[in-house]
Amino acid sequence: MYTIYSATGCTRCKIVMARLRQLGLDFAEHDMKAAGKEAFQRFYAANRRAIFRGPEGVEFPLLTDGQTIRQGLGPALAWLQAGPDALAGFFQVGVLHKEWLDGIDISGGDPARADDFLAVLRHLKQNAMKLEIATDGGNAALLAAAVREGLADRLVMNVRGPAHLYGQLAGRPVDPADIRATIALVAAFPAKQFQTVVAPLRRADGAVAYLAPGEVGQAAALIAEAAGDNHQPYLLRPFRPEAAADETLRRAEPLAAAALLPHRSAARTHQVKTEIEKTG
Amino acid sequence: MSNGTKPVDALRFPAILYHREHTWLQADGDAARVGISDYAQDELGDIIFFELPAVGQRFAAGQSFGSVESVKVVSTLYMPVGGEVLAVNDALADTPELANRDPYGDGWIIAVKPDGPGRGGLLTSREYREYLKTLK
Amino acid sequence: MTYPSVYPTGTTVYDPAKCWNGYTIFQAAEEGALLVDMNGTGVNLWKGLHGFPNKLLPGGQVFGHLGVRNPAYGMQDQTDLVQVDWDGNVVWKFDKLEYIEDPGETPQWMARQHHDFQRAGNPVGYYVPGMDPQTGEGNTLILCHKNIKNPKISDKTLLDDTIIEVTWDGDIVWEWTCSDHFDSYGFDEAAKNILARDPNYRPAGGGQGDWMHINTMSLLGPNKWHDAGDERFHPDNIIWDGRETNICAIISKQTGKVVWQIGPNYDTTDQLRKLGWIVGMHHAHMIPRGLPGEGNILIFDNGGWAGYGIPNPGAPKGSKNALRDYSRVIEIDPVTLKIVWQYTPAEAGYMMPYDANRFYSPFISSAQRLPNGNTLITEGSGGRIIEVTAGHELVWEYISPYWGKQLKLNMVYRAYRAPYEWVPQLPRPKETPIAKIDVATFRVPGAAPLAPVKQTAVAGARPYLLDPGVLCVGAADE
């Protein structure tokens, strides 16, 4: 028995409920703007630490079976497709609204579950969602399959850094051929964005230091080499220490936006359209 | 915050004292009650949770003493005066929307023993209303 | 108003004893950067070196640009900023702000510079004792363009102003974007309304709104206000003005925020009403330490047409709604906003307002304070550069003899005076005084002399009794 917390007029909630019905699964709905208000308050008070808030507040739907909670359209459908954890890493709660859905990370999940993953994307497309798919270069073959099938509407590639630091920045071993193949796929896609978070990392001598301008320049050169041109939309993003998983990195002093100007100069040598993300 | 649905003139501000961060203070003998203003509850929308201090905790004027969470936002609660928490409105735990329905009555948040008679920096209802018009 | 079709050009008035003698650099229309001595001898023409503006550097070097972007695609975008030596060699160049690929043009990096730049060592780009601009090192602040979308201002593509600081090696190390601070400029609803509909739309590149049109940018430099603790006037802070909005602002170098501002409206306080409406201004800058008037703000208040606001008969849509048909140079105290010195048609000796537009340049123009207290004024639209004393005496006048072939104007955007010592390549030039010609008696060949050949007495004619009250029109403020 599932419980879904919804909001009046929430299309994404309706898509999940339709899926539950399609799969013949029992569920109770609590609309937090109507009769389900008190039930939602109780649920929220008990689980608020696990509930994500985007820029516009609590994201709906929230789906639970009493033990597991999945929030947002992607994660909820992924659960119904393949169980609570099989597609973990592929789907997170996004922040985009209306017909656009983000929070899909093609390099974040297990490629052995490609069929289930693509099935979720197909279901989303059948429901007229536009999908923004993120990647850091892993699972290039899966990305190629999704693109081939027309399941992507926008691609965002997080280029972690230059090739020699890529694995360390990604937090897992990476295959350079996979990265290059992904760059080529993204570069050839009509709606795309390359971006690099100018992040700190632990260096060989143990010190923590941010990606240097030259290293970001190398990342830009990597894009140029694999994409075959120097005109890709490329965004440099400031690192947000508070969001870092690693505690040492969480203590890093944030860089001022102006501190990224030398990085931009270095990157523009290889990607002439490089810009710095506007913040605040 | 700019989510409110009502113009300032449609909101209610009884003759008590208000803090610029949208809490109110109402004297009750030696003690005083603290809550959020009609403006604050309107901006927040459906309130779903209060995180509140324990009885006996002390706070300075302007210090954060807790937070209020609605579907839209999480907002910090600020002390209108310095003082010690004498009581907490337990009803808010089960029925946080009391602060939406009756922000100056059943939706009160804490009772405090103010540190002194000073009420510097707090606004009258008229001043608070004028101040809000500069925010809208 | 009446302008003669024949008049002398080159130097027309020169009093060496009262001038602050030196060389004058300006962009001779469609010719290049021209350096002239006081008698108007062109001592060096850097042929084809564009100048928006040209500025002289110690050692006989000059700033300019190698080219301009095709006006079909860019509005006033200079391709680069270059420093050129006496012999025309480029010794420093910056162009790496934006990679531009215009249809049919060779793709290239461009600075998109316009209107101004400042090299470290000197806050304003003209001679200040003890503050020579650096020539072999140092950062440069450059005013540039970038195209943006900002629905808060308008749904149209906007030509925005950006200020960047670049190192000697060409790295950008600081950047400020004008539209980021839109909310702080104090536009009223009427101004926002017309800005949204017509953000000064110009045709280049399929159309772009040159909404602010910053036309000057300099540092404050060390000053008495900051010495006294007023942080608004931090020496690193930057002053600019926006021709289209009638705003003059000082921004914090640290935060980018506006810390001091006059305009867009001049009717909101008594101080501003006394100052009078500034229209389409140019070259607002703080007079640097070491020059008479230091700490005051010198502005060429063009008049003409500028501003966004409530429509009126002269501006039926509210665009360029402030109008005035004469110019004035004003020196104001930035704290009290009082005018401490001015040069208007009245000081120039013209009868106000009837003859006021004899001192009038509705666009371009500038004013430079000289070490002896004189002021070098570029009345740009007519190519007139003058030097006046603190007491308003005209001691030097030069009319540019260079008319453009594409733009049929002898306009001078901005002229600067520099000391002879900045050009060590040349011996100090001879200074030959030029007395002001009495135009009532001066005749071109073939013209008759002044005096009538016959005078006839008229019986009963009484003396002339004249004052402005007898003219057909009253002054606007009568």
pLDDT digits (tens, 9 = 90+) for C189-241: 999 999 999 999 999 988 999 999 999 999 999 999 999 999 999 999 999 99
Closest CA in chain C for residue A213 = C171
> In this complex, how many residue pairs, one in chain A and one in chain B, have their CB atoms less than 8 Å apart?
28
CA distance B94 to B115: 30
- Is the per-residue pLDDT at C33 higher than 50? yes
Q: For A77-99, write each residue's pLDDT tens digit.
A: 999 999 999 999 999 999 998 99
Count the domains in chain A.
1
What's the pLDDT at B136? Answer: 64
What is the mean pLDDT of the segment spanning A223-250? 92
What is the mean pLDDT of the segment spanning C325-345? 98
Rg (CA), chain B: 14
Chains A and C touch (3+ CB pairs under 8 A): yes
- CA C219, C225, C230, C232 torsion: positive or negative? negative
Hey, are the CB atoms on C173 and A272 less than 8 Å from each other?
no
Q: For B71-101, write each residue's pLDDT tens digit.
A: 999 999 999 999 999 999 999 999 999 999 9
Chains A and B touch (3+ CB pairs under 8 A): yes
Hey, are the CB atoms on C171 and A258 less than 8 Å from each other?
no
- Is the per-residue pLDDT at A226 higher than 70? yes
State in words which class domain B33-116 has: mainly beta
Average pLDDT of chain C is 96
The shortest CB-CB distance from A44 to any of B49, B73, B93 is to B49
The residue type of A184 is A
Asked whether the beta carbons of C11 and C369 are under 8 A apart, the reply is no
A221 sits in which H/E element: helix A213-227
CATH number of the CATH domain containing A124: 3.20.20.70
What is the mean pLDDT of the segment spanning C378-391? 98
- Is the per-residue pLDDT at C478 higher than 60? no
The shortest CB-CB distance from B69 to any of A33, A48, A56 is to A48
Measured in angstroms, the CA of A42 and the nearest CA of chain B are apart by: 7
What is the mean pLDDT of the segment spanning C86-100? 97
Hey, are the CB atoms on B73 and A7 less than 8 Å from each other?
no
What is the mean pLDDT of the segment spanning A96-125? 96
What homologous superfamily does CATH list for C10-443+461-470?
A: TolB, C-terminal domain (2.120.10.30)
* Domain assignment of residue A63, yes or no: no
What is the mean pLDDT of the segment spanning C45-62? 98
CA distance A93 to A52: 7
Asked whether the beta carbons of C285 and C248 are under 8 A apart, the reply is no
What's the pLDDT at B52? Answer: 95
The residue with tokens 């306080």 is C269
Query: In 3D, which of C303, C301, C302, C323 has the Cα closest to residue C312?
Result: C323
- List chain C residues with CB under 8 Å of A264: 172
Hey, are the CB atoms on A262 and C173 less than 8 Å from each other?
yes
CB interface of A with C, residues 219-258, below 8 Å: 258
What's the pLDDT at C465? Answer: 85
Hey, are the CB atoms on A53 and B74 less than 8 Å from each other?
yes
Percent of chain A with pLDDT over 90: 87
When mean pLDDT is compared across A246-250, C118-122, C228-232, C377-381, the lowest value belongs to A246-250
What is the mean pLDDT of the segment spanning C297-308? 98
Q: How confident is the model at residue C2 (pLDDT cuts 50, 70, 90)?
A: confident
Could you tell me which residues are beta bridge partners of residue A100?
A130
When mean pLDDT is compared across C27-36, C90-99, C459-468, the lowest value belongs to C459-468
Q: Which of B1, B71, B75 should we substitute to test contact with A (largest number of A Cβ atoms within 10 Å)?
A: B71
Q: Which of A58, A59, A71 should we substitute to test contact with B (largest number of B Cβ atoms within 10 Å)?
A: A58
Hey, are the CB atoms on A258 and C173 less than 8 Å from each other?
yes
CA distances from C440 to A90, A221, C345, C437, C451 (A): 90, 73, 20, 9, 10
Measured in angstroms, the CA of B51 and the nearest CA of chain A are apart by: 10
Hey, are the CB atoms on A41 and B74 less than 8 Å from each other?
no
Asked whether the beta carbons of A39 and A7 are under 8 A apart, the reply is no
Q: What is the pTM of this model?
A: 0.84
CA distance B96 to B113: 23
Hey, are the CB atoms on B46 and A44 less than 8 Å from each other?
no
CA distance A70 to A27: 14
The residue type of A218 is Q
Q: How confident is the model at residue C101 (pLDDT cuts 50, 70, 90)?
A: very high
Asked whether the beta carbons of A273 and A232 are under 8 A apart, the reply is yes
What's the pLDDT at B33? Answer: 97
C10 sits in which H/E element: strand C10-14
Hey, are the CB atoms on A262 and C175 less than 8 Å from each other?
no
What's the pLDDT at C468? Answer: 75
- Is the per-residue pLDDT at B2 higher than 50? no
CA distance C341 to C390: 8
* Domain assignment of residue A250, yes or no: yes
CA distance C421 to B107: 79
C99 sits in which H/E element: strand C98-100
CA distance C86 to A19: 78
Where would I find the beta strands (DSSP E) of A109-244? 130-135, 154-158, 192-198, 200-202, 208-210, 234-238
CA distance C249 to C97: 24
The residue type of A271 is Q
- Is the per-residue pLDDT at B29 higher than 80? yes
Query: In 3D, which of C238, C244, C256 has the Cα closest to residue C118?
Result: C238
> In this complex, how many residue pairs, one in chain A and one in chain C, have their CB atoms less than 8 Å apart?
22
Residue ranges of alpha helices (H) inside A48-161 are 73-82, 114-126, 140-148
Hey, are the CB atoms on B72 and A45 less than 8 Å from each other?
no
CA distance C333 to B44: 47
The shortest CB-CB distance from A41 to any of B73, B74, B96 is to B96
Assign 3-state DSSP to chain C and report helix, strand, coil percentages, each to 5: 10, 35, 55
CA distance A166 to A136: 10
CA distance C88 to A47: 73
Q: For C125-182, write each residue's pLDDT tens digit.
A: 999 999 999 999 999 999 999 999 999 999 999 999 999 999 999 999 999 999 999 9
Dihedral, A216, A220, A221, A227 alpha carbons, nearest 10: 160
Hey, are the CB atoms on B49 and A40 less than 8 Å from each other?
no
- Is the per-residue pLDDT at B21 higher than 90? yes
CA triplet A106, A107, A110: central angle to 5 degrees? Answer: 90
What's the pLDDT at A279? Answer: 77
Interchain contact C137–A (C-beta under 8 A): no
Q: What φ, ψ does residue C340 adopt, rounded to 5°?
A: -100, -20
What's the pLDDT at C283? Answer: 98
**What residues have CB less than 8 Å from C463, skipping those under 6 apart?**
none
The residue type of B46 is D
Percent of chain C with pLDDT over 90: 96
Closest CA in chain A for residue C164 = A261
What is the mean pLDDT of the segment spanning C232-255? 98
Hey, are the CB atoms on B49 and A56 less than 8 Å from each other?
no
Q: How confident is the model at residue B1 (pLDDT cuts 50, 70, 90)?
A: very low
What's the pLDDT at C477? Answer: 59
- Is the per-residue pLDDT at B3 higher than 80? no
Hey, are the CB atoms on B70 and A40 less than 8 Å from each other?
no
B85 sits in which H/E element: strand B83-88
CA distance C38 to C58: 18
The residue with tokens 């409530």 is C310
State which residues form the domain around A162: 75-276
Q: How confident is the model at residue B64 (pLDDT cuts 50, 70, 90)?
A: very high
* Domain assignment of residue A2, yes or no: no
What's the pLDDT at C18? Answer: 98
The residue with tokens 């779903």 is B48
Query: In 3D, which of C192, C286, C210, C222 has the Cα closest to residue C248?
Result: C286
* Domain assignment of residue A13, yes or no: no
H helices, E strands: number in chain B:
4, 9
Asked whether the beta carbons of A38 and A29 are under 8 A apart, the reply is no
Buried b (16+ CB within 10 A) or exposed e, C368-394: bbbeeebbbbbbbbbbbbbbbbeeeeb
- Is the per-residue pLDDT at A105 higher than 60? yes
Count of other CB atoms within 10 angstroms of residue A243: 9
CA distance C65 to C48: 9
Hey, are the CB atoms on A57 and B70 less than 8 Å from each other?
yes
- List chain A residues with CB under 8 Å of C172: 261-262, 264-265
Residue boundaries of the structural domains of chain B = 33-116
Residue boundaries of the structural domains of chain C = 10-443+461-470
- List chain A residues with CB under 8 Å of C99: 268, 272-273
Closest CA in chain A for residue B44 = A57
What's the pLDDT at C240? Answer: 98
- Is the per-residue pLDDT at C186 higher than 50? yes
Q: Is B45 helix (H, G, I), strand (E, B) or coil?
A: coil
* Domain assignment of residue A11, yes or no: no
Could you tell me which residues are beta bridge partners of residue A38?
none
- Is the per-residue pLDDT at B4 higher than 80? no
- Is the per-residue pLDDT at C467 higher than 60? yes
CA distance A65 to A81: 15
Structure tokens at C392: 């308003």
The residue type of C417 is R
- Is the per-residue pLDDT at C115 higher than 60? yes
Q: Is C141 helix (H, G, I), strand (E, B) or coil?
A: strand
Query: In 3D, which of C125, C111, C55 has the Cα closest to residue C83?
Result: C55
